[in-house]
Amino acid sequence: MKKLLAEFIGTFWLVLGGCGSAVLACNYPGAGIGFVGVSLAFGLTVVTAAYAMGHFSAHMNPAVSIGLWAGGRLEGKDLIPYIISQVLGGIAGAAVLYVIATGNGSAIGNFAANGYGDLSPGKYSMTAALVTEVVMTFMFLLIILGATDDRAQKGFAGLGIGLCLTLIHLISIPVTNTSVNPARSTSQAIFVGGEALGQLWLFWVAPIIGAILAGIFYKAVFAVKAEKA
């Protein structure tokens, strides 16, 4: 239960901190933080949560849990409870953000929802969004698997993973608003509704594909057994 609670709190913080920066501070008149600030905010949520709760669990992302399972790092029986905790934590974070964002009478707009076509910040196609989310999640999981490997330097995993997520956002915010996390996408789409919900399937399918491919690849190529063989 401590692990599941850590997943709930971690995902809550990721959505509130990352999406909160996009909704509240990105375009603030005269002092907006822009894409760079939002990218850093997402990375910082991962760094802070990883160091605070990583000794329990700090996936904060269904795709990460699935990728770790595919890579042999997570037991199958834990997968569904982890995903449920992450999605509920994300929705809770979005609910708090909704209360804050509407506190001055403003509409929520796109609420940092992910999307392609008309919902893409740069109006990128569905194909571009699909490729972006698969490849970015693949690289994200490779970094996570490598940084948390028993052979990696101890104490730096959270920093490396957080910086990786920052870089991913710097690359892909213009394409999809950056998901690589189905829980984060679900939480925002629920409050936006409409086409954001209609496009949500891509932000489950693409990250999961990327995560599974990364888990299988890392296990086959970089795992200890592969080296000994």
- SS3 category, 123: coil
Q: Can you tell me the distance from the alpha carbon of 68 to that of 82, in angstroms, rounded to the nearest whole number?
A: 12
Q: How far apart are the first and last CA of the chain?
A: 38
Fold for domain 2-228? Answer: Glycerol uptake facilitator protein (1.20.1080)
Residue 44 has pLDDT above 50, yes or no: yes
Q: What sign does the dihedral 38-12-140-112 (CA atoms) show?
A: negative
Give pLDDT tens digits for 1-16: 899 999 999 999 999 9
Give pLDDT tens digits for 183-226: 999 999 999 999 999 999 999 999 999 999 999 999 999 887 64
Q: Can you tell me the distance from the alpha carbon of 215 to that of 70, in angstroms, rounded to the nearest whole number?
A: 5
Q: Can you tell me the distance from the alpha carbon of 128 to that of 178, in angstroms, rounded to the nearest whole number?
A: 12
Domain spans of the chain?
A: 2-228
- SS3 category, 194: coil
Neighbour-count burial of 21, counting CB atoms closer than 10 A to its CB (0-12 exposed, 13-18 middle, 19+ buried): buried
Q: Can you tell me the distance from the alpha carbon of 134 to that of 121, in angstroms, rounded to the nearest whole number?
A: 18
DSSP designation for 105:
S
pLDDT of residue 225: 63
Whether the model clears a pTM of 0.85, i.e. scores above it, the answer is: yes
Average pLDDT, the chain: 94
pLDDT of residue 27: 87
In this structure, how many other beta carbons lie within 10 angstroms of the beta carbon of residue 201?
11
